[in-house]
Structure 1
Amino acid sequence: NIHWFCCCFLLGFARLAGGDGLCSGRVEVHSGEAWTPVSDGNFTLPTAQVICAELGCGKAVSVLGHVPFRESDGQVWAEEFRCEGEEPELWSCPRVPCPGGTCHHSGAAQVVCSAYSEVLLMTNGSSQCEGQVEMNISGRWRALCASHWSLANANVVCRQLGCGVAISTPSGPHFVEEGDQISTVRFHCSGPESFLWSCPVTVLGGPDCSHGNTASVICS
């Protein structure tokens, strides 16, 4: 209807919600009245490519597993998208109804775009392979929170940077830079991933991420 069309035109049809910035998070589409999550069932990388391009977030880096960025209220978009990857926006992609009109799923589809992909170590240490872990999130470098930071996460960072394996994850302000912006993203790496953004993600609350509580790593 006209009301639904106007809402989608003004607000956009797709967004990534619950992540740290506009370029990562749970895939949601606007129904004209509310934002509704899209099921991770049969969700593909070409569909993610269309969403990242539509949002001005570069290319899709990964489609994550079903660990939610935030709890869903149970409502799920009743269609599956069949994008080829070249469409100008998600609205243009072919869609098919979910079987029985209901999308049964283990979680919402989640996407990480390339604007949320670079990692480096800011170091006051003795080498380029130790320091505070920072990630480029939508064009801004942010330190990662140390709460729930694991050796498995650190191993992925070391591998991604060509720095061998993680020896330790020092706690406390070993490498803290004054005035750092701290991200509330929490990674759930199992260890063998090649890139940090390939790991499932959730978002922590602000109180867990006070200044000085930043993730760090010493690689081999």
Structure 2
Amino acid sequence: MLFSALILFQILGKTLCNAASVRLVDGANVCSGRLEIFHNGIWKPVCASYWDLVDANVVCKELGCGIAEEAYTEDAKLSLPSACTSKVQCTGHESTIMDCHKDIWGTYWCSKYAGAICDSKIRLVDGIDSCSGRVEVLKDLIWGTVCDDGWDLSDAAVVCRQLGCGDVIDAKGGAYFGEGSAVIRLVNGNNYCAGRVEVHHKGIWGTVCDDGWGIQDAQVVCRELGCGILRQITYDAYFGKTFARIWMDNVNCLGTEAFLSTCNFKGWGEYYCLYGGRGGVICDSRM
């Protein structure tokens, strides 16, 4: 009877604790700390059983935080909710921690929680999964591309090893995964991960009209900037009025894009911004 009740409870737990998003908390920034999973208004930790660098690396990539420097763990706290799952085992090719093999959703009591300390200075974008794509590196808070002059298998092997993606298969050049996209930034917020959205096009910084501005658009911005998960979308003059030109209008992202500029929109400099509002975001920066 007890065994049957436990199985039933864990099956019900799958509904109660199926993840909607993940985050790293109580670290130095949004890219380090204890792993937590969110559902039905509750953030829950994950037991650290079998937790290793490969698992942590999937979390770092999912949050746009580059590669894992450490598979962080911390002692369990009575003040926190019970863990949502345990025995996470990833191959390293998953795009989200939810795709990794793990215990079924339920209530778990453990001695240590899983976490990660990420190094958000290198990433692969516009590939078929998190282990393929154009190489980009972070410099002065801006993601940039790597010139393919002299790019070969030896160079690519270093990237694969850094990202925990196994052996290199091929080293692509010639904009195989597309050219780098326009830079993006957030201004007038209280940190790098909050503010009015601005994009750099043809050497000029411009704004994004808030016509149709929605959650999926804002999520792409947070991910592109390596700022973790979206907390709030803003409209109008939430971050102050501006007379800067409007570069993008009617932005319509799927939510899976690596860059805001690769989402569907009206066209560079083409807009009909009825009320002059501007799109903005507040991401979970933990700064």
Do the structures match in fold with TM over 0.5?
A: no
Rg larger in structure = 2
Q: Which band: TM-score by shorter chain?
A: 0.3 to 0.5
TM-score by length of 2: 0.34
Larger relative contact order (Cα-Cα within 8 Å, sequence gap ≥ 6): 1
